[in-house]
């Protein structure tokens, strides 16, 4: 099932890219979500509608969790659920940058079994299914083998380097940033960065696809406390994310204040 789900996700992601590309970022209608949840555009909603039609049309028995759909309890009774971020990096989309992504995943009993992160403006399609390995544009990829945190290249936002988050001194690392959380995870899976972490409660749709891509690329993934990530929760957030090869992952979680 993960392999056939992956083919479906890839097909849907490419169709989503075509829909999103049909909107000019500078003229697309936009507004702010209630509660300070950030911006949304008509492109986000159009992609969401397309993905729901394609994915649920093919798998009507699967639950549905999307950033741009009203959530409900129905998905909690489903063994498998789609977890979707129609456009991850909406601010980047609005600015006309190419570093936004479609993030699509299937979760079974709390574990991500297939995932795709597609950046249509950069022609990068990251994909993985359980037991099948991870690829970028069809070519196998693997995380870096760096073991030491000092000097590692890390994708993280500035607040995670505040001293209160660390047991000792703030580590001296090469700081990198990408506006799309799904893209950050994928860059680590590709081995172009050594680690990624975020310490805030994190929406599942931002990280579900990246979780399986990372694990299939040889990474360890967890929440900020080092606990296994579990998806399709009643409140769809996880307690931060830490991702790197197993040795570096252990160095990071061991240095963080839980």
Q: What is the pairing mode between strands 101-108 and 153-155? A: unpaired
What stretches in the chain show pLDDT beneath 70? 1, 3, 24-27, 30-31, 36
pLDDT at 35: 73
Q: Which two tokens stand for residue 229?
A: 């990530």
Rounded CA gap, 44 and 66, in Å?
11
Instruction: Show binding-site residues.
Output: 67, 85, 87-88, 206
Whole-structure pTM value: 0.95
Beta strand residue intervals within the chain, DSSP E? 30-32, 39-41, 63-66, 80-88, 101-108, 111-119, 124-129, 134-136, 139-140, 153-155, 174-176, 195-198, 202-203, 220-222, 237-238, 241-244
- Ranges in the chain annotated CATH 3.30.540.10: 5-140
Q: Which residues are annotated as a binding site for Mg(2+)?
A: 67, 85, 87-88, 206
Distance from C-alpha of 188 to C-alpha of 245, rounded to nearest angstrom:
9
How far, in Å, CA of 88 to CA of 209, rounded?
11
Task: Please give the pLDDT value at position 39.
Answer: 80
Q: Topology of domain 5-140, per CATH?
A: Fructose-1,6-Bisphosphatase; Chain A, domain 1 (3.30.540)
Does CATH place domain 153-255 in 3.30.30.60?
Answer: no
> Would you call 109 exposed, middle or buried from its count of C-beta atoms within 10 A (0-12, 13-18, 19+)?
exposed
In the chain, where does the domain assigned CATH 3.40.190.80 lie? 153-255
User: Which residue has tokens 């995943």?
Assistant: 105
């Amino acid at each position: 099932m993960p392999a056939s789900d992956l083919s479906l996700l890839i097909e849907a992601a490419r169709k989503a890219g075509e829909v999103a590309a049909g909107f000019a970022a500078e003229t697309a209608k936009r507004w702010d979500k209630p509660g300070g949840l950030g911006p949304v555009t008509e492109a986000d909603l159009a992609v969401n509608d397309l993905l729901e039609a394609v994915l649920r049309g093919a798998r009507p028995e699967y639950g549905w969790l999307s950033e741009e759909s009203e959530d409900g309890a129905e998905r909690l009774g489903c063994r498998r659920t789609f977890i979707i971020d129609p456009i991850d990096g909406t601010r980047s989309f609005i600015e006309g940058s190419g570093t936004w992504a479609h993030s699509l995943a299937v979760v079974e009993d709390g574990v991500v079994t297939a995932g795709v992160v597609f950046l249509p403006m950069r022609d990068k399609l990251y994909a993985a299914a359980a037991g099948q390995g991870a690829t970028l544009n069809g070519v196998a990829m693997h995380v870096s083998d760096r073991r030491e945190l000092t000097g590692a290249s890390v994708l993280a936002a500035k607040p995670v380097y505040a001293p209160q988050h660390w047991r000792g001194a703030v580590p001296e690392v090469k700081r990198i940033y990408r506006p799309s959380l799904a893209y950050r995870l994928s860059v680590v899976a590709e081995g172009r960065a050594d680690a990624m972490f975020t310490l805030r409660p994190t929406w599942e749709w931002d990280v579900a696809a990246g979780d399986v891509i990372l694990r299939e690329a040889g990474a360890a993934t967890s929440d900020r406390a080092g606990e296994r990530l579990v998806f399709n929760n009643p409140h769809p957030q996880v307690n931060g994310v830490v991702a790197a090869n197993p040795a570096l992952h252990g160095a990071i979680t061991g240095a963080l204040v839980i």
